[in-house]
Structure 1
Amino acid sequence: MGTPRAAYIPPLQFFAFLATLTVHPHFTTRTYDVEKQTAADDALRYLQQVAKLVGPRNSGLVRAFRFVEAKKPTASRNKRAVTRNTTDTAEEEQEYDADSIRSRYATEESLWSKADDFWSVVGWAFNCSVVHPHRWRRWKVWLELVLDVLAADLESHAEDDTIAASLFARYLASVGERGRNTKRRLMRAILADGTQSSLAEFHEVWRDETRGPRTHKTQDANRQHKRQKLDLDNGDFGDYGDESSAEDSPAASNPRSRSSTAKPSRRDSGNDENSDDENLFDIFTEFLRPLPLAIFSHFVCPARPYLDPDALSSMLQMLFRPLLVGSGAPVYDENIVTQEVFEECFAPFAAGGGGGVDNAKVSVMVESLLRLLWRNGGVVGRRSLREAVEKGVKVRREKVAWDGRRRTGFKALEEEEAGMVMEASAQRMMSVLDLLT
């Protein structure tokens, strides 16, 4: 890999400042200024290269991306760039001093000051993916950057057996006491879908963030009002730190304050905090089962697995239970799913409640289990396997055909989509069986 070389990197506050520029609306979706848009893109590329070449821990990115430290700046000790060897795993303490950068985008307009925590940003970003696509395009690249940092940092701490000290562990700790309600909030953030309740809980980070660019006339007036000289050596970013207007004034209401007034749902109002060993897949079942079929399919039968085999198997079993109630399927409570268990307890059954959507979900989960067994060498081609899979395909088709309920409008379209998903799933399972034989 070559000889390790020293890397010159700035203090932490500059990383946090640049991370804000990559997504702040004044540098992205609320300006026509090409110079500012270029600054946001350059900031993103710089952070990506630092994460790739120096690493999140060696560079200090993991400390710069901590919401708590960013909100509590302290006195400056060092404004000069520091030199670190890229192979040195010792984390040197650096003072976080946002005030050393003369820009409100490093202080009161900083992402790390505006957002409640990481999960509030995740929820808002995914809300944008549905209702504000112009903002989602920017939040998407920010999330990708942070997820790369989280993954690399987590892997590094796993090697040292210090996962509790990772940035991801810190993000989890930021939501408060661990328990069922906490896990529900994380799931609501991950599954934020732009609905009214989701937008109420995960709202915009910056005031009027979703508005379009200002007119050229307004921008020119702002520039003429006050243009400062850039002095990068002394941390003076000129008019990049003074784009004030009545609607964007720091004195304007901070959206963070609204989060404290959000009312919890009825199911979250009770104090049901449990110990750490409570079953996480109960939460998965609660949130994943009602999802629309297309999104549900991505979670339970992904093109690229995102869970290890044991975790995926456990999650599928939890999701099967409510759907197979009343179907005659035997209850299976063990952790390991073998081919025999697959043939006897899952493959040959339809959803207990009927309806195209539930049966399509059962079909997709049966397919996912079959593919899981195949990938891990736990299945062999034999007559009993084909008979179980073909029986399941047949009974699910019959269940939908003889449902007896007439549907119109959206429900009819939903059932039509479910039928197509179920048939496509059946064809894929037949292809797997053909390969096995």
Structure 2
Amino acid sequence: MSTSPLTALPSSSSPASFYTPVGGSPATAGDCTNLSTPATEPASSPYRDARPLPRELKEHCQIFFEEQMYNAGIQLLDSLLCAGAGARPGHGKPACVPPPPQIALLATLAIHPTHTTRVAERAQLLVASEALQYLRNLLAIAGPVNANLRAAFEFRVSSRGGRRHYGLDATSDEDDVDEEHIHGRFANESSLWTRGQDLWKVLGWAFNCSAVHPHRWRYWRPWLEFLMDALEADFDERQRLDLEAHERSARDGEDCKFPLLRESLLMSHINTGNRLGLKTIMKSLCAEGSQASLTVFQEVFEKESKSAAQASNKRKREQILDLDNDKFGDYYDDGASMYSSQESEPPTPEKMARGPGRPSAQATRSPPPSAGFIESIPLRLHCATDLFPSFLQLARASLELPKPFAALHEVYGAFADAVRELRAPLFAPFVSTRASPLPVASQVSLLRALLEPFLPRASPYPGDVDAEADEENGVSLAILRECYLPFAANNNAVEANAKYSLVAENLVRLVWAESEVRHAPELQRAVEKGVRARGEKARARGRGRPPRGPAASEGGGGDEGVAREALDRSGERLLTMMRVLEIDSAGASD
């Protein structure tokens, strides 16, 4: 029987696995890989040089946008961006880049319900799709730094007449900024960057939509994917430029201070002082559509959750055509029937739970995770365990911030705390290793962080069982057998024991997939003992208090019944894995 450990060593593809620094020594709070000394020469830029739009063309585009001729403005910008492209990426004439207010407007048009879920005609959907496609082209051709996405994607409002000033600093000319100001609702009071308050409020609402508003998630998903790409590309490009400048300076013995990274797009959203905390950020990544989550992360746009059919049923009698104020006259008459007949909105969990008369046992139970929620898991995990920690790692090591936003190990801890609060059906997709987008090292770190608060005092310390694996914050078969598998959670709540079982199950899957595991009586006994202990603890909770009402025949009501089912099925899968392992080991010996 092999007990080779499954470690959490950091790699270039997984900057979030910061528990063990390069070199293999144990990680402590604040330790991280120092990226200030590049191992190789900086890579060449993958982007074309950029220049601002000529004044006349900039004014043409501004007129198009202010007159709501969005398609014409986007097509003009796209043709100017692609003109003069070279045969290879990063070559060709400088690309023409619009000012930040125009980029910010396009980001709003790409997701605003007026141009997505509440369009008067299907043709209007082209505005949102073309706006998002242009933003992707801009990111790929000019790059995030040349396009000044840092200024375009700011959540801030000036005190002067509600106008937003993009990239205004001590050297900026306010008259020039005012010349770039776009009149119109979508560029000002209804702009995403005005209504959204901050990035994490927007992310929280978008992830709520994945669970309860699928018609909105259909549009938020590609928008979030673009935003994640922009954050990552901005991080990489600023790091490349800083290293390139450091190489040119040729000052031996002095670390690169990464001045451009100090102004990165991601830094602008996490460096918010005391107004936002790490826990709030991580909760936004775990927003699941519950009433509590919807209270914290509310609609970005006014009445955003209403579909076209719903808006049609509740519209006023007056037939006024005023696109700037979301009044479409009789345009909805055809649009409502078109949408209601072809794209009926799936029922939300709240609708499923409501109904005439007394709710049934099924209605009182939490519904299984929606398809949208499952689709959102990779985005949530990527931001929480890759993009976000990778920046904090570099900030801690090289930027020498006077007040670091968080210690590196606190990122995984805060994310694990947020995930642990989810109900068992929503908790399961986060811990599943079957199709996880995370590297194995990150999966190990997350699973261990999730399991530790559930461990009973009787469980041995992993370092006493396998010091080498524990030193690297890894997991081995010996740690599983002695420290995790034989135990139940440290309380008798059904939810706690279900989550404990799900984490233990997926740790077994990881060890089995990454190392040679053979059947052994002691492993079998550990699994059986743990399944029995967790089941008995969960049953002890209900002794003397039999369930009442229609849920009694189903073994429990509400969320507890769902958690009990998750616990039982997880235990069955663990026992099945042991039987498969026994059969495989018997076949190998023959």
TM-score computed with the length of structure 1 as normaliser: 0.71
Q: CA deviation at 1:25?
A: 1.7
Distance 1:165 1:366 in 2: 41
Q: Superposed, which structure 2 residues align to 1:35-434 within 5 Å?
A: 35-68=123-156, 72-73=164-165, 100-159=181-240, 160=242, 162=258, 163-174=261-272, 176-177=273-274, 182-213=277-308, 214-215=311-312, 221-223=319-321, 242-243=324-325, 276-277=406-407, 279-307=410-438, 309-326=440-457, 328-332=458-462, 334-336=470-472, 337-339=474-476, 340-354=478-492, 357-373=495-511, 379-382=515-518, 386-402=520-536, 403-404=539-540, 405=542, 407-410=555-558, 411-427=560-576
Q: What are structure 1's unaligned runs of at least 5 residues?
A: 77-94, 226-238, 247-272
Note the C-alpha offset of 1:117: 0.6
In 2, the alpha carbon distance for the partners of 1:152 and 1:288 equals 27
1:416 offset after TM fit, Å? 2.0
Displacement of 1:190 after TM fit?
A: 1.3
Amino acid corresponding to residue 504 of structure 2 in structure 1: V
CA contact (8 A) 1:12 1:96 kept: no
1:255-290 C-alpha deviation (Å, 9 max, x unpaired): xxxxxxxxxxxxxxxxxx998337334423432223
Pick aligned residue for 2:120 from 29, 32, 40: 32
Distance 1:98 1:372, change over 3 A: farther
Name the CA distance, whole Å, in 2 between partners of 1:155 and 1:431: 45
How far apart are 1:245 and its partner, in Å? 5.8
Residues 132-165 of structure 1 show CA distances to partners (whole Å, capped at 9, x for unaligned) of 3322222222212111211222233444464443
Tell me, in whole angstroms, the C-alpha distance in 2 between the residues paired with 1:124 and 1:325: 36
**Native 8 Å contact 2:156 2:164 kept in 1:** yes
CA deviation vs aligned residue, 1:287-317 (integer Å, no higher than 9, x gap): 2223222322222234444555555434333
TM-superposed CA distance for 1:415, in Å, is 1.2
Determine the C-alpha separation between the residues in 1 that align with 2:289 and 2:488. 32
After TM superposition, the structure 1 stretch with the greater mean CA deviation from structure 2, 404-413 or 40-49, is 404-413
- Contact 1:13–1:98 (CA<8 Å) still a contact in 2? no
Tell me, in whole angstroms, the C-alpha distance in 2 between the residues paired with 1:156 and 1:432. 48
Matched residues in 2 for 1:369 and 1:391: separation? 17
Residue identity opposite 1:329 in structure 2: S
Q: Name the CA distance, whole Å, in 2 between partners of 1:366 and 1:221.
A: 61
Change (3 A) 1:310 1:400: closer
Q: State the TM-score, normalizing by the size of structure 2.
A: 0.54
Conservation of the 8 A alpha-carbon contact between 2:454 and 2:490: yes
Given that 1:119 and 1:186 are in contact with CA atoms closer than 8 Å, whether structure 2 keeps it comes out as yes
Secondary structure in structure 1 of the residue aligned to 2:202: helix
The alpha-carbon distance between structure 1 residues 431 and 110, as it changes in their structure 2 partners (threshold 3 A), is farther
- Answer yes or no: is 1:23 the counterpart of 2:159: no
The CA distance in 2 between the partners of 1:98 and 1:114, in whole Å, is 23
2:222 match: secondary structure: helix
1:319–1:74 distance in 2 versus 1, CA, 3 Å = closer
Superposition CA RMSD, Å: 3.8
How far, CA to CA, are the matches of 2:165 and 2:404 in structure 1?
35
Contact kept, 8 Å, 1:350 with 1:392, in 2: the verdict is no
Q: 2:101: which partner in 1?
A: 13
One-letter amino acid of the counterpart of residue 39, structure 1: V
What residue identity is the alignment partner of 1:381?
Answer: V
What is the CA deviation profile of residues 194-248 of structure 1, one whole-angstrom value per residue up to 9, with x for unaligned ones? Answer: 233222221112222223335499799433x7xxxxxxxxxxxxx6xx33669xx
Q: Which amino acid aligns with 1:195?
A: S
Contact 2:433/2:509 (<8 A) preserved = no
Aligned residues: 369
1:325 shift after superposition: 1.0
Q: Deviations over 1:18-66 (max 9, x none)?
A: 1100111222222323332221121122222322344323333343222
What is the SS of the residue equivalent to 2:96?
strand
Do the aligned residues in 2 keep the contact of 1:184 with 1:283 (CA within 8 Å)?
A: yes
Q: Following the alignment from structure 2 to structure 1, what is the Cα–Cα distance between the partners of residues 181 and 534?
A: 66
- SS of the aligned residue for 2:146 comes to helix
Higher normalized contact order (CA 8 Å, seq sep 6+, divided by chain length): 2
User: What does residue 357 of structure 2 align with?
Assistant: none
Note closer, same or farther for the CA distance 1:297–1:42 as it changes in structure 2 (3 Å cut). Answer: same
